[in-house]
Amino acid sequence: MKIHEYQARDILSNAGVPVPAGTVIENVETAASTYKQVSKEAGTDLVVVKAQVFAGGRGKAGFVKLVRSPEAAEEAARFMFSNKMVNQQTGPDGVECKKILMAAGVDIEKEFYLSITTDRATRRNILIASAEGGTEIEVVAESNPDAIIKEPIHPLMGLQPHQARRLAYRLGFKGKQVSQAVKIMIALDTVFREKDCELAEINPLIVTPASQDHPDGQVLAIDAKFGFDGNALFRHKDIAALHDPSEDNANELKAQKFGLSYIQLDGNIGCLVNGAGLAMSTMDIIKHHGGEPANFLDVGGGASEEAVTEAFKIILDDEGVEGVLVNIFGGIMRCDVIAQAVVNAAKQVGFNVPLVVRLEGTNVEEGRKILQDAQSEIPTMQAADDLGDAAQKVCGAVAGA
Amino acid sequence: MSVLIDANTKVICQGITGSFGALHTKGCYDYGTKMVGGVTPGKGGTKDDNGLPIFDTVQGAVDATGADATMIFVPPAFTADAIFEAVAAGIRVICAITEGVPVQDMVKVRKVLDDHNAVAGPNKKIYLVGPNCPGVITPGPKTGSGKSHDDPYTNAGCKIGIMPGYINTHRSESKLGKNVGIVSRSGTLTYEAVWQTSNLGLGQSTCIGIGGDPVRGLGFIDCLELFENDPDTDAILMIGEIGGTDEEAAAEWYKTNGSKPIAGFIAGRTAPPGKRMGHAGAIISGGSGTADAKIEKMTECGFEIAETPADMGGAVARAMKLEAAAV
């Protein structure tokens, strides 16, 4: 689960990580007054106006603006609230901006990158740090892999101060910056483990220029990104409450309610499969035979009539779908039961596009007979002999239609 | 011979009174697995529908039955604790079937398990399979209908988990008299592979579903090593999917250590980056974990690659250089 930047800022701030002054607004009327408040609090006329949407590329799209007056703040906010942000990441429909973060602008002496994630290969959390902050870590990994430091974190003890100190010195923090950086690293690890994160990232982490109050500068988190383990939300009601449903795909949500795992893609052949691995490879075999998968759909081990009916509805709701492939390996669930469920569901939903059904497993002969007997009632339906045959049949039917 | 489990393995079910636990306890029992009991705290002293004794604790079950394997069906929030309990009771093979276990729980589980195994003697090593997996099966020759425990499917096999048992073939009943060992991150894709290899006239020594989570117990390398050292396994089929780099590491391991014919398949060639394809671990992130990278490495290390899921049996046949006539 993802959260917005302003929510990530709150989490960091509550964990003791310093962030620049800032406030969230939900309408353009409060923009000017909020500018004044943030500006006064931080003692600077420079304020950053940032649209709170999940898509990247906000700056280029005009959804992040630097302003130096209440009027400019209001103008920027008006633009963001009244236009949809459209770029490659958002797709042609664009995304609506409902909240704007107004944060104090700060002078930057140096930028760093800091994140924690779980490393699958070592089965541990690792801290990833780089003195080349401000750019995406993938870009740094490509251009200058030596600039990335990876530190394994003890699964039971967490990040130890001595590790954080060593990292801070290696990254080039100086004087009083070191203890500030150490505190931030420890706080990030604490949040990561306590809140079951998949990713906790501060980018950039910055050092401000020396000032009278801070002769060594201040270490601040400017932007942060968090991802949470959906499987652990049951024990984090506070995190679950941060979820923004406006960014979800309606069909994917609907599928979830019926225990289906569904991801909409942009191809022309819908598929309904039991099991995630088989569902993924069914997409692959459709592509192999010249079609384009319209979705990933794992109906679960049972493939009950209710689940199949809902799955059909969701698949056919996608206007791009020109044919449907059902691929079920009947293990614990017998093929005759599944065939009956598919036939009943297909009748209930009504099929105008080609439907190819491939069943294998327990009682497969009985299952195929049920499909054959229902042929007259569902004229667009064909039974397939095996997986390869099924993919060829559905791709052929769609190409010939 | 086989790996991990055989006809003598004594199995309990943690969460035996839950609906899935009860259903699959019966499935395993009817298959012919030596089910010796189950655990549900608070129900100790009672029996399940099969007449199997229920215990309050895993230790209690082990003391009374001598169980050396367990299958875990408890809800995700309690799965890590169930694994720790099995480890503490000295259970040798732990199959965690439960889907949806938090990753940070598994990070702790692996630490505890790895620490245990680092100092354990050769017979004290603990094998965790899963979570989010179908389990492990060592097929036996068919001796009955498998419709009840009085008429089990086999009296010389062991099924721990949710997979259909009858699609597997024992070497003695395979046309070609040869065995493939199968290891997979996906459940139904494993059944598909078992079905295809059985239809080709092959038997299976053992099939291990290692599960679809990013942090899990046994990995591909562990299983390849088990199969390599098992005299009853003639060839290996490794079924991976997008996400992580375990398949690449396993391919490297095989290049240095493997001697048996090996075939492989990777699911998710068409999966878009950044989207989680059902399994928690099946995600391409930051340009790593793609199917193409895995297939390239596996090919380079001597794997025969199945181009489509319909070709998994075919790839095994090619790897084993089976005569076209026999296939």
CATH assignment of the domain containing A42: 3.30.1490.20
Mean pLDDT calculated for residue range A284-291:
94
B163 touches chain A (CB under 8 A): yes
Count of domains forming chain A:
3
* Span A103-128, average pLDDT: 94
What residues have CB less than 8 Å from B153, skipping those under 6 apart?
Answer: B30, B31, B32, B140, B142, B143, B144, B145, B146, B165, B166
CATH code for position A383: 3.40.50.261
User: What strands, in cross-sheet order, belong to the sheet with B10-14?
Assistant: B54-55, B34-39, B10-14, B69-72, B93-96, B127-129
> A62, A78, A105 — which closes off a domain?
A105
Domain that holds residue A228: 1-20+107-248
Pairwise CA distance, residues A225 & B190, whole Å: 37
Indicate the residue of A155, A232, A362 with minimum beta-carbon distance to B164. Answer: A362
Residue B178: the pLDDT is: 96
pLDDT number for residue A348 = 87
Examine the domain organization and report whether A31 and A166 are in the same domain.
Answer: no
C-alpha dist (Å) from residue B34 to A85, B37, B149, B155? 61, 9, 10, 9
- Answer whether B71 touches A (CB < 8 Å): no
In the predicted model, what is the mean pLDDT of residues B261-267?
97
A236 and A265 in a single domain? The answer is: no
A330 & A384 share domain: yes
- Pair (A275, A379) in one structural domain: yes
Residue contact B191–A298, C-beta within 8 A = no
B183 touches chain A (CB under 8 A): no
Confidence grade of residue B1 (pLDDT, cut at 50, 70, 90):
low
Task: Give the distance from residue B20's alpha carbon to the nearest chain A alpha carbon, in angstroms.
Answer: 12
Burial class (CB in 10 A: 0-12, 13-18, 19+), A25: buried
Q: According to the model, what pLDDT value does residue A301 have? A: 64
Asked if residue B41 has a cis previous peptide bond (ω within 30° of 0), the answer is no
Q: HSE on the CB side for A129, CA within 13 Å?
A: 24
Output the six-digit token pair for A152.
Answer: 């394994």
> Of A248, A280, A302, which closes a domain?
A248
Domain match, A8 and A140 both: yes
Residues of A in contact with B102 (CB under 8 A): 196, 229, 231-232, 235
Share of chain A above pLDDT 90, in %: 65
Same domain for A343 and A238: no
Residue A140: closest CA among chain B residues belongs to which residue?
B286
| Alpha carbons within 13 A on the beta-carbon side of A272 | 32
Tell whether the model's pLDDT for residue B265 goes beyond 80.
yes
CA angle B194, B200, B202 (to 5 degrees): 65
- All residues of chain A having their beta carbon less than 8 Å from the beta carbon of residue B188 are 273-275, 277-278, 301, 329, 331
Question: Distance (Å, rounded) from C-alpha B68 to C-alpha B4?
Answer: 11
Active site residues of A: 113, 201
B46-103: pLDDT as tens digits = 999 999 999 999 999 999 999 999 999 999 999 999 999 999 999 999 999 999 999 9
Considering the domain architecture, whether residues A9 and A154 belong to the same structural domain is answered as yes
| Å between A185 CA and nearest CA of chain B | 18
Domain endpoint, select from A105, A128, A156: A105
pLDDT in tens, A247-273: 677 888 888 888 889 999 989 999 999
Give the pLDDT of residue B281.
82
**Contact criterion met (CB < 8 Å) for A120 and B162:** no
For B104, the 3-state DSSP assignment is helix
| CA closest to A333 among chain B residues | B164
CB contact under 8 A, B308 and A283: no
Q: Which residues of B touch A387 (CB under 8 A)?
A: 192, 308-310
Contact B191 A293 (CB under 8 A): no
Average pLDDT, chain A: 91
Of A207, A174, A200, residue with least CA distance to A186: A200
Q: Is the pLDDT of residue B325 over 80?
A: no
For the cut 70, the answer to whether the pLDDT of residue A46 exceeds it is yes
Interface of B with A in 296-315 (CB under 8 A): 307-311
CATH number, domain of A229, equals 3.30.470.20
% of chain B with per-residue pLDDT over 90: 89
The model's pTM: 0.92
Statement: residue B253 has pLDDT above 80: yes
Claim to verify: residue A325 and residue A264 sit in the same structural domain: yes
The answer to whether B50 touches B35, Cβ cutoff 8 Å, is yes
Q: Do B278 and A261 touch (CB under 8 A)?
A: yes
Query: pLDDT tens digits for B194-247?
Result: 999 999 999 999 999 999 999 999 999 999 999 999 999 999 999 999 999 999
Q: How far apart are CA B271 and CA A280, in angstroms?
A: 7
Chain B residues within 8 A of A196 when measuring between CB atoms = 102-104
Based on the fold, state whether residues A29 and A147 are members of the same structural domain.
Answer: no
Question: Among B221, B211, B208, B132, which residue's Cα sits nearest to residue B168?
Answer: B208
Q: What angle do CA A300, B308, A321 make, to 5 degrees?
A: 60
Q: What pLDDT score was predicted for residue A78?
A: 95
Partner-chain contact A277 B111, CB within 8 Å: no
Q: Would the pLDDT of B287 be above 50?
A: yes
Look at residue A339 and tell me whether its pLDDT is greater than 90.
no
Do both A13 and A59 map to the same domain?
Answer: no
Structure tokens at A18: 């310093």
Residue range A382-394, pLDDT digits in tens: 889 889 999 999 9
Nearest Cβ partner for A278 among B189, B280, B291: B189
Do residue A280 and residue B278 have CB atoms under 8 angstroms apart?
A: yes
- Residues paired with A355 in a beta bridge: A324, A381
Active site (catalytic) residues of B = 279
| B242 contact A CB<8A | yes
Predicted confidence at residue A143, as pLDDT, reads 81
Looking at residues B4-22, what average pLDDT do you find? 96
The predicted model gives A40-46 an average pLDDT of 93
Residue listed under structure tokens 């390996």: A329
Q: Which residues of B touch A274 (CB under 8 A)?
A: 188
CA A111, CA A222: separation in Å to the nearest integer?
Answer: 10
Residue percentage of chain A with pLDDT more than 70: 98
A41 plus A55 within the same structural domain: yes
Q: Do A283 and B270 touch (CB under 8 A)?
A: yes
Identify the pLDDT of residue A361: 78
Nearest CA in chain B to A359: B192
Alpha carbon distance A385, B143 (integer Å): 29
Q: B288 pLDDT band (50/70/90 cuts)? A: confident
Residues A308 and A283 in one domain: yes
User: What is the predicted pLDDT for the residue at A302?
Assistant: 63
Distance, CA of A264 to chain centre: 14
